[in-house]
Amino acid sequence: MTKIISAVIISFTFVSIALSQSYSSDVNPFSGSFTLMLEGGTTVTKTDYNNSLPAFVGKISADYFLHTNSRVALGIKMFGGFGTLRANGGADTSVHNIASSIKTPVYFIGIGPELSVNLGKFCPYFFMGLSYLSFYPEDSTGTRLPRNKAGVYSKTELNYNFEFGVKYRLSRQFSINAAVTGHVSTHDYLDDLPNSISTGYHNDQFYTLTLGISYSFLESKESGNEEQVQEPVQVQQEIQKPVQDQDHDGVPDYLDKCPNTPSGVAVDKNGCPLDSDHDGVPDYLDKCSGTPSGVAVDKSGCPLDSDHDGVPDYLDKCPNTAPGVKVDSTGCPIVETKPQQVKPEVKPEIKPEVKSLPKKVNYGLTLFDAGNFDKQYGSLTASGERILDSLSQTLNSNPNSRWRIDGYIDNMGSDSLNKKVSLERALTVYYYLVSKGLQSTRFDVYGEGAQNPLSTDTTEEGRALNRRVTFTEIKEAAPVMKTTEGVKPSSNIITDTTAYNFSNDSFVEGAIYTDGKLFSIQLSSWLQIDKAEQRVALLKAAGHNAMIWKARIGNGYRYRVRVGFFKTKSDAQAYYQKYFAQ
C-alpha cells in the first residue's frame, strides 16, 4: 500500500508541475481562503470478503490555504463523516462461525496537509493525513458479529488517509468537487475476520468515491485577474460600449445604483452618495455627521431625542423627561438648589479675613453663595473654607459668644424646597465650624427659605444676592441648638441600618425621606466622605442614630448624612422639630 501511495504522490506532483507551466493563470484562486465542502458517495471495501457492495458515505470538510502569489497553494484540511462498509463472498462460512456478508457502520474524523494547483476552472488537489475511526461490525441483518460481540478487539483505531480530487469552479465562491479517498486500517478487524482465521495477508481498508459542492470565504483578491486573462474579448466589448452618465456623477449609468444624484454630491464606486457614518443618511443631507455606529437617527441624520431635552436617546439616562425641565449632560433633571456664577461686577466682596469680634457686641457676617459654595453639590469651595477658617479662629478667641446661623435662598422653588435647601446650606456651614473644634451648643441653625430677600428675584444678579448664609450674635445665654449632646433614643427609632431600603429612597417633604415603609431625616450631603464621616461622628456623640448613604448623582457620588429610622412620617417630623428645627 505504501508503494501505491508513493506512486500517486509522485504522479500528482509531475502532472501538476507540467500543467502549471503551460497555463497562463498566475494565482491560485483558493489562496488565503477558507472553504467548506459537503460530499456524498459510496464506499468500496478491501477486506477478507471478495465482493464489495455499494453503501452510502457522507462527508463534511473544511480547508484553509495560506496566502500565495503562485499557482500552487499549500493548506490544511479537516474532515469528518459517516458511512457503511458492505461486502460478501469469498469467506468460508462453514468454519469459525463466519457470516456470509458484513455491514459495518463507520464514523471518522481526521486532519492533514493539502496541496492545490490552479489549472484555470479545474483545480486538482492532493491530501495526506491521519484519522480516528470508530466501527461496529454487523451482519446484513444488523446482528453484531461474533468477535465484535465478544469484545475481542477495540472498535476504535487510527487510520492513514490519502485523497486525490479535483474542483471545478462555477464562480469565485462555488465549486463542484470530486474525490477518491483511501482509509488504510492499522488492524484487520473491519470485517470481524483477523488474518489468523481468514489466512489473509493484509489489513482491512476501504475507499470512498464522493461528489460534492464547496463554498469559499475570503477569496484572494488576486484571483480577479483570472477573469481578465480568460475573457479579453468581453472586456474589449465593454470598453467599446458608449458610456452614458446622465447624473454626471462620474459613474456610468449601467453601473450606477443610485441614478439622478444631485449635481456636485460626492458618490462611491456604485454611484451612491457617500454616507461616512453609515447611519443611512447621505453626507450631503446629514446634519449630524460622525454619529456612532448603530444609533438610530432621524431624516436629518441626527440621533433621536424622544423627550426633546437636548440629550440624544442613546446618551439619555433619564428618558421621558417632562417638557421644559432643565437636564444635565446625562439627560437627568437638575434640581436648582444653588445659583449660577454671579457676574464679577455685582459679586459681593467678602474679605477672607474676619477681624476679632468685640465681646458682647452684635456682630453680623454674610457668606454669599457665589464663589463660596460648589455649583453642583452645594459643598463649600476652597474660598468658602478659607473664610470659615478665619471665622473659626475669631470665634475661638471669644469662647463665650453664641451665634445664630441662617440660610437663605431665592424664590425659584416651592416653599418646602426653599426651606430644605436653605437649611442644608446653613448646616453645611455649621458642621464645618464644629469640625474646627467649636462647641455645637454655641450655634442655632435655621433654614429661612426665601424670606428677607436683599434684592429682587427677577434678575440673576438679584437672586445671587438672596442666596446666602448669615451669622448673628445671640445675646441670650440659653442654647437653642437642638443637635445637643445627651439625646435619649426614642422607642419610635429603629436602629437596624439594614431595615431601610435605600434603593427605594424618595423625597417626602422638608428633610424627610422614605423607602416606602420607614422614614429618615437627611441633615446634609457631601462630596467628600471624610467630611460626611466627621458629621456622623458628631451626631453619634450627641446620641443620634446617624449614618452615611452613598448615593450616585450623575457621574459621581454624594455622601448623605441621615438620622433614623422612624415608623411613621409624624415620628420623623416630631424628632426633626425637637432636635434640628427652630
298 or 11, greater pLDDT: 298
Residue 223: pLDDT over 60? no
The average pLDDT across 266-295 equals 88
Fold classified for 2-224: Porin (2.40.160)
Residue 260 CB partners (closer than 8 Å, separation 6+): 246, 247
> Which strands, in side-by-side order, build the sheet including 512-514?
506-509, 512-514, 519-526, 556-566, 546-553
The pLDDT of residue 218 is 64
> What whole-number distance in Å separates Cα of residue 331 and Cα of residue 325?
10
Closest listed residue to residue 163, CA positions, set 102, 202, 108? 108
**What is the identity of the amino acid at 40?**
G
The pLDDT of residue 442 is 85
The pLDDT of residue 230 is 46
Share of residues in the chain with pLDDT > 90 (%): 25
Chain CA centroid to CA 469, Å: 47
Q: Return the domain boundaries, the chain.
A: 2-224, 364-474, 502-579
The pLDDT of residue 193 is 79
DSSP string of 411-479? SSS-HHHHHHHHHHHHHHHHHHHHHTT--GGGEEEEE-TT-S-SS-SSSHHHHHHHSEEEEEEE--SS-
The average pLDDT across 278-303 equals 88
The pLDDT of residue 484 is 40
The pLDDT of residue 288 is 87
Residue 59: pLDDT over 80? yes
Model pLDDT for residues 519-565, shown as the tens digit of each residue: 999 888 877 888 788 888 888 877 888 899 888 877 788 888 899 89
Model pLDDT for residues 388-398, shown as the tens digit of each residue: 898 889 888 88
Max mean pLDDT among 109-123, 189-203, 362-376, 493-507 falls in 109-123
How many angstroms separate the Cα of 93 from the Cα of each of 32, 193, 198, 568? 54, 11, 10, 97
334 or 403, greater pLDDT: 403
218 or 573, greater pLDDT: 573
The pLDDT of residue 201 is 59
Model pLDDT for residues 106-139, shown as the tens digit of each residue: 999 999 999 999 998 899 999 999 999 999 999 8
> What whole-number distance in Å separates Cα of residue 286 and Cα of residue 344?
41
The average pLDDT across 363-380 equals 75
Average pLDDT, the chain: 80
82 pLDDT tier (thresholds 50, 70, 90): very high
272 pLDDT tier (thresholds 50, 70, 90): very high
95 pLDDT tier (thresholds 50, 70, 90): low
Residue 199: pLDDT over 80? no
Residue 462 CB partners (closer than 8 Å, separation 6+): 410, 453, 455, 456
Residue 58: pLDDT over 60? yes
Its CATH class, for the domain covering 364-474, is: alpha beta
CB atoms within 10 A of CB 53: 19
Model pLDDT for residues 321-355, shown as the tens digit of each residue: 778 777 787 877 765 444 444 334 433 443 333 33
Total-model pTM: 0.38
The average pLDDT across 215-231 equals 53
* All three cell numbers of 134: 470508530
The pLDDT of residue 136 is 92
Radius of gyration for the chain, computed over Cα atoms and rounded to the nearest angstrom:
45
CATH 3.40.50.720 corresponds to the domain 502-579:
no
Model pLDDT for residues 410-450, shown as the tens digit of each residue: 988 888 888 888 888 888 888 888 888 888 888 888 889 99
Residue 35: pLDDT over 90? yes
